[in-house]
Amino acid sequence: MIIPINKITPEDAPIIGGKAANLAKLISLGYRVPKGFCISTHIYRKFLDITGLNNRINIELNRGNMDTMRWEELWDTSLRIRNFFNTTPLPDEIHDLLLEKLKNWTCPFAVRSSAPGEDSSTSSFAGLHDSYVDIREEIDILEKIKLVWSSLWSDSALLYRKELNLNIYKSSMGVIIQEMISGEVSGVAFSKNPLNGEEKIIIEAVEGLNQKLVNGETEPCRWIINRRNDEVESVTESIESSSVLLDKNKIKLLSVTLKKLEEEFNFPIDLEWTLRSGDLYLLQVRPITTIYTSNSEEKPWEMGDKRPWYRSLTLTFTTLEKMKRYIEEDIFPKMKKVAIQLESIKLEAMNEEELNIEIERRQQIYNKWKDIYWKDLIPFAHGVRLFAQAYNDTIKPVDPYEFTRLLSSEDLISLRRNKELRELISHINSNKKIREDLSNNQMGNLDKKFKIKMKAFLKRYETSTFKGEKIFVDNHEFIDFLLNSSKGFNERIFSSPKELEEEFLLKFTPFDGKRILGVARASWKFRDNDNLYLGRIEASILEALHFKREKFHWNDEVEDIFLHFTSQKNHKNKELSVRRFTGQPASPGIGSGNARIISSPKEIFHFKKGEVLICDSLDPNMTFIVPLASAIVERRGGMLIHGAIIAREYGIPCVTGVVEVSKSIKLGDHVIVDGYLGTVSISDV
């Protein structure tokens, strides 16, 4: 079912989508709209049926409960589904039908999404589904059609459908193929202010095509117009430079058109337009999307429903590049400085009142940096997502996570720490006397060089804490760990493979490819390092609390603070047990061994080579035991969590997002972890 836009009737809306229906209405009202046709949802459905993708998508969507999935897990789901589309060729029947249709049209084209149910007066999917412009090759058009289809399953679209209570299983996608009109000036326009709903007309314009404007990659010239008299109230640039783009008459033309459209469509208008040789072409019209702004004083990342905030985390590479500089040059140095300052304060010299004030001050400092972490550092992780999409769309790998092999970094703090730990262990391996002295607790006789190295290690990482307790302390548990780990402390296996990198860069201009990769690598690295910096600041509060407990009174108020940072609830169900779980496949491979559940610092040092590491969330401070693990299972889900990152670095199978994990797996259970399928089974042998 392929329908020319000018032949679409209102009855076709359920199979061609709101955007296409709106374009048809514009034509019937006499507006200029680029010629084109719409590929109905029947063809989308046919593609899914013939290739079996509908069932594969279904399996992915049922991997976990979507109501409880974290945003990162949804992103993973969406990434895998997008890769299905990328790696599944169009069946001949559909391929030939589309090519036959395209031969009567002239390139270049715009390929736009048009999902039924989107862009109604009560909901707008603006920006959630993909559209592509200036596509010049037929083969590219076919690829872009698949990408538009796959954008039905983007994480933002999945979240939005859940928010609106739309049935995600019934969602479908039409595609508009339109001739490109290369206007001299293009832009967007709103019949009301989309930021605050104010009764002002807003027009934004750029020279040439408006794709960079729509993607947020360029700053447009922006006019605010009085609706009553179509007079310009303000403009972001000087009158001279702005009038080069749009003179008074053009502004009036757009302003009048918007008001007319608002009457004809009966909703506030969000318009994409272009001007060619003085003629106004309407590219698409839809209801205004309310841009996410929180009126509440509550921080968006602390709200019960974080979905609107998650959806707002879509940044462009330009924004991410700016953020990278800001994080590297400003945030990280300051975080480090604050941590060092806090660590240098001598608590011993304080009396109880001074210590109370210090605890409060440390909490305030921590809260400030925690907010920065959520506001700036979490959104920066979006760089990995954009890279993943760019990599998978261009390379089309079978493994949708192949991109992570290009992101491995020597600079992860946790990897540096693990390397130093491995050096200590290899000293023990190569020197029998060191081993004996450590085993017999003859510290006085211990090799001096080794002793200095060990002390230096403990000093360097003395601020690492887990659940409020320092991890690296010069005690027998640490020594036992070194002795027990001497056989089998794995080296990381991945280095950034040159061939993959070259293949990726070939698909872009050298500048763009390196730019994307640079942002993505920083995004990957920061994701590990930011937690370690924040962990040091958090450790300073716990240090003060521990000091208070030892030296002064321990009251309910301090207990509350302590519990806030350290508590963990673990409910075990005696009647029911789970034998097999499905989570997210986070690092490929199959591993098995006895389970060790890590929920306290002591348990960290009891971890033995070959055991399966089970935890609620893998704290970056404890990832030094990862090289000993045969597999990792984590309750939290997502590809960007530390468990997943570090497991991939060491080539250890990992499954994340296993909701019931700490309730159902007991110490010593023999478990089998399949990092390909994302399953964990408890052996009943």
Give the nearest distance from C-beta 681 to other proteins in angstroms. Answer: 5
Q: Give the shortest CB-92-to-other proteins separation in angstroms.
A: 16
When asked if residue 679 is in the footprint of other proteins (CB under 8 A), the reply is yes
Residue from 67, 92, 556, 684 touching other proteins (CB under 8 A): that is 684
Cβ-proximal residues to 236 (8 Å cutoff; 6+ apart), any chain: 219, 221, 222, 223, 242
**φ, ψ of residue 176 in degrees (nearest 5):** -100, 130
Between CA 384 and CA 56 the distance in angstroms is 25
Under the criterion CB under 8 A, does residue 42 sit at the interface with other proteins?
A: no
Q: Which residues of 596-622 are buried (b: 16+ CB within 10 A; e: fewer)?
A: bbbeebebbbbbebebbbbbbebbbbb
The least distance separating other proteins from the CB of residue 591, rounded to whole angstroms, comes to 10
Shortest CA distance to 479 belongs to which of 512, 435, 426, 449?
435
Q: Please tell me the distance from the alpha carbon of residue 403 to that of residue 395, in angstroms, as a whole number.
A: 9
Token digits of residue 545: 């609390």
Rounded Cα distance between 672 and 147, Å, is: 36
577 binds other proteins (CB under 8 A): no
Residue 685 interacts with other proteins (CB under 8 A): yes or no:
yes
Q: Does 58 engage in binding with other proteins (CB under 8 A)?
A: yes
Determine the length of the chain: 685
**Least separation in angstroms between CB 6 and other proteins:** 38
| Minimum CB distance to other proteins smaller for 83 or for 131 | 83
Which residue's CB is nearer to other proteins, number 45 or number 227?
A: 45
Minimum CB–partner distance for residue 645 and other proteins (Å)? 21
Residue 34, by phi and psi: left (phi above 0), alpha (psi -120 to 50) or beta? beta
Per DSSP, 507 falls in state T
- Applying CB under 8 A, what is the total number of residues that bind other proteins? 22
In the bound state with other proteins, the residue whose beta carbon lies nearer, of 53 and 483, is 53
**Minimal distance in Å, beta carbon 674 to other proteins?**
5
Choose, by CB under 8 A, the member of 1, 2, 51, 500 that binds other proteins: 51
Q: Whole-number minimum distance, CB 51 to other proteins, in Å?
A: 7
Q: Which is nearer to other proteins, 19 or 80 (CB)?
A: 80
Residue number with CB closer to other proteins (52 or 333): 52
Answer for the pair 190, 162: CB distance below 8 angstroms, yes or no: no
* Nearest one of 283, 271, 296, 282 to 124, comparing CA atoms: 271
Q: Does 59 bind other proteins (CB under 8 A)?
A: yes
Residue placing its CB nearer to other proteins in the complex, 80 or 492: 80
Least gap, CB of 89 to other proteins (angstroms): 13
Nearer to other proteins, 52 or 668 (CB): 52
How much is the CA Rg of the chain, to the nearest whole Å? 29
Please say which residue, 318 or 592, places its beta carbon nearer to other proteins.
592
All residues at 6 or more sequence positions from 104 whose CB lies less than 8 Å from its CB, including other chains: none
Q: Is residue 55 part of the contact set for other proteins (CB under 8 A)?
A: yes
Distance from C-alpha of 302 to C-alpha of 528, rounded to nearest angstrom:
21
Contact between 534 and 378 under an 8 Å Cβ cutoff? The reply is no
State the Cα–Cα distance between residues 226 and 365, nearest whole angstrom: 46
Among 32, 35, 42, 56, binds other proteins (CB under 8 A): 56
Which of the stretches 45-53, 210-218, 219-227, 534-542 binds other proteins when contact is defined by CB under 8 A? 45-53
Cβ(490)–Cβ(629) below 8 Å: no
**Cβ distance 276 to 183 under 8 Å?**
yes
Region from 15-23, 350-358, 602-610, 677-685 binding other proteins, contact rule CB under 8 A:
677-685
Tell me if 313 contacts other proteins by CB under 8 A: no
Region near other proteins per CB under 8 A, out of 56-64, 249-257, 433-441, 561-569: 56-64
Q: How many whole angstroms separate alpha carbon 177 and alpha carbon 98?
A: 11
Neighbour count for residue 150 (Cβ, 10 Å): 23
Q: Which residue from 7, 29, 52, 568 is in contact with other proteins, where contact means CB under 8 A? A: 52
Nearer to other proteins, 63 or 470 (CB): 63
**Smallest distance, Å, CB 152 to other proteins?**
18
Q: Residue 653 CB, nearest distance to other proteins (Å)?
A: 10
Tell me the window of 8-16, 52-60, 208-216, 449-457 that interacts with other proteins (CB under 8 A).
Answer: 52-60
* Alpha carbon distance 485, 489 (integer Å): 6
Q: What is the closest distance, in whole angstroms, from the C-beta atom of residue 479 to other proteins in the complex?
A: 36
Instruction: Please answer whether residues 492 and 650 qualify as being in contact, where contact means their C-beta atoms are separated by less than 8 angstroms.
Output: yes
Minimum distance from CB of 52 to other proteins (Å)? 3
- E strands in 142-278: 174-179, 185-190, 200-207, 221-226, 232-235, 269-276
Is residue 676 involved in binding other proteins (CB under 8 A)? Answer: yes
In angstroms, give the least distance from the CB of 300 to other proteins.
35
Exposed, middle or buried: residue 492 (CB in 10 Å: 0-12, 13-18, 19+)?
Answer: buried
Q: Is 677 in the site for other proteins (CB under 8 A)?
A: yes
The 646-675 site mask, x for binding other proteins (CB under 8 A), equals --------------------------x-x-
DSSP string, 411-427: T-HHHHHHHHHHHHHHH
Q: How far is residue 605's CA from residue 613's CA, in Å, rounded to a whole number? A: 12
Q: Report the half-sphere exposure of 24 (CA within 13 A, side-chain side).
A: 21
The minimum distance between CB 590 and other proteins, in angstroms, equals 5
* Contacts (CB under 8 A) with other proteins, residues 583-642: 590, 592
Q: How far is the CB of 216 from other proteins (least distance, A)?
A: 34
The half-sphere exposure of 606 on its side-chain side, counting CA atoms within 13 A, is 12
For residue 192, the tally of other CB atoms under 10 A from its CB is: 19
Q: In a 10 Å sphere around its CB, with 0-12 CB exposed, 13-18 middle and 19+ buried, how is residue 224 labelled?
A: middle
**Piece of 47-55, 145-153, 335-343, 546-554 that binds other proteins (CB under 8 A):** 47-55
- 77 or 463, CB closer to other proteins? 77
**Which of the stretches 9-17, 123-131, 530-538, 676-684 binds other proteins when contact is defined by CB under 8 A?**
676-684
Question: Rounded to whole angstroms, what are the CA distances from 34 to 20, 188, 258, 281, 518?
Answer: 12, 16, 18, 7, 38
The window from 28-36, 51-59, 151-159, 197-205 that contacts other proteins (CB under 8 A) reads 51-59
List the x/- string, 77-116, binding to other proteins by CB under 8 A.
---x------------------------------------
Of 383 and 593, CB closest to other proteins? 593
Sites of contact with other proteins (CB under 8 A)? 51-56, 58-59, 80, 579-580, 590, 592, 672, 674, 676-677, 679, 681, 683-685
